[in-house]
Amino acid sequence: MSKLKAIDNYTFTGNQPALPASMHKTIPSPEQVVEFFKTHERVTWNLTEILEIPWTDINLDLLTPADAYVAESAMLVESNSPDYVANLLEYFKEDQDACDFMMMWAIEEWKHYYALRDYITKIRIGLEAQKQNVDTRPEHAERLAKIEASVKRALTEEVADVRESSEQNWGIPAHYTPAQVVANTTLQEFVTADFYRNHARHTKEPVLAKIEMLLAKDETRHEMFYEQRTKDCLKHDPEAMPMVIEALKEFGMPGAYLLDDYDDRRPAMEQAAFPTLADKKAAFVRLFAKMERILGRAATMRVFTEGNYLTDGREDPSKKKMRPEMITRLITRKLA
């Protein structure tokens, strides 16, 4: 994987001046931080149990190249957590509650990386074992070769490349206000949770499905915590809303700035988790509903119709935008 160029043009907030670090504060939330930890203790899953799953439990016959590509891509993005956390801790250093939350959040994100890495390592062991029993069916060989390529990429140089990319660019610019930061992380965690949950439903490989369902539950708790932070910021300062809208208009998933071949990965991952048009529409309706709960209908409409959601926040030369009528049709059909 070649080295990624940092994305540093923020179409909608580029001219926004950076705040002093002393203003990087959300609304105090010590009780909610403790609540998050209590839930963490109650529902947390045991990484040891995942690590102890024998590699023979992974059903390679049911694993598709797309599944391996998903595991590889997700692992790479999750591998970026130390840099992401370091940047957030630095950004929120004046906000004790935000930092306290991040300590717990960080350990959960690390588990995601490690569970996926362990899974990919076990695929590699399984592939090696299969080589002993030579299967001459050409379609079988092709499928395994694709899986092997994913495994190789994931376990060799790619993690180092992602860490290098995230050193220069962690996706949330320093000029964002606290409300913009937590709105961005809410959206990112929501999309991640929805992705894992849906891919878990579609993959036929049971161990991957199990891991992804565990990850999805964590991501859901993350997005709920961030959602509350965003709502509290907006309630405390309704004038923060226009800037939050501008930031969300340029929202992109972390993969977009961490992985230089994300333009290939995004459609492949979408296809794997949301294979039909109906799946894709339903995912959009869920995302819209989530944002509507935080921002209201009109602001959410602006995010999707004026922003660069379809191109992960990047300026789209074709200026392709979602049309309001299309969105209205999607969300009302769902409600009907």
At residue 80's C-alpha, the angle toward residues 77 and 86, to 5°, is 145
Question: Which among 268, 266, 264, 242 is positioned nearest to 253, based on CA atoms?
Answer: 266
State the minimum distance, in angstroms, from the CB of residue 255 to Fe ion.
Answer: 12
Amino acid code (one letter) for 44: T
- Considering the rule CB under 5 A, would residue 83 count as an interface residue with Fe ion? no
194 scored as a contact of Fe ion (CB under 5 A)? no
DSSP per-residue letters across 84-97: HHHHHHHHTTT-HH
Q: Min. distance of Cβ 219 from Fe ion in angstroms?
A: 4
Place of tokens 């994100």: 109
Binding segment for Fe ion (CB under 5 A), chosen from 52-60, 182-190, 258-266, 323-331, is: 182-190
Residue from 72, 219, 227, 246 that binds Fe ion (CB under 5 A)? 219
Residues in Cβ contact with 203 at an 8 Å cutoff, skipping those fewer than 6 apart: 62, 63, 64, 67, 70, 209, 212, 272
Q: Which stretch binds Fe ion (CB under 5 A): 119-127, 153-161, 212-220, 321-329?
A: 212-220
> How many Å from the N-terminal Cα to the C-terminal Cα in the chain?
46
Instruction: Confirm or reject binding of residue 266 to Fe ion (CB under 5 A).
Output: no
**Residue 67 binds Fe ion, judged by CB under 5 A:** no
Per CB under 5 A, 249 contacts Fe ion: no
Q: Which is nearer to Fe ion, 159 or 243 (CB)?
A: 159
Between CA 230 and CA 237 the distance in angstroms is: 11
Q: Which residues from 105-134 bind Fe ion, rule CB under 5 A?
A: 109, 112
Q: Counting contacts by CB under 5 A, is residue 189 touching Fe ion?
A: yes
Applying CB under 5 A, which part among 65-73, 90-98, 172-180, 183-191 lies near Fe ion? Answer: 183-191
What the block records as the tokens of 242 is 């226009």
Per CB under 5 A, residues contacting Fe ion are 109, 112, 189, 219, 222
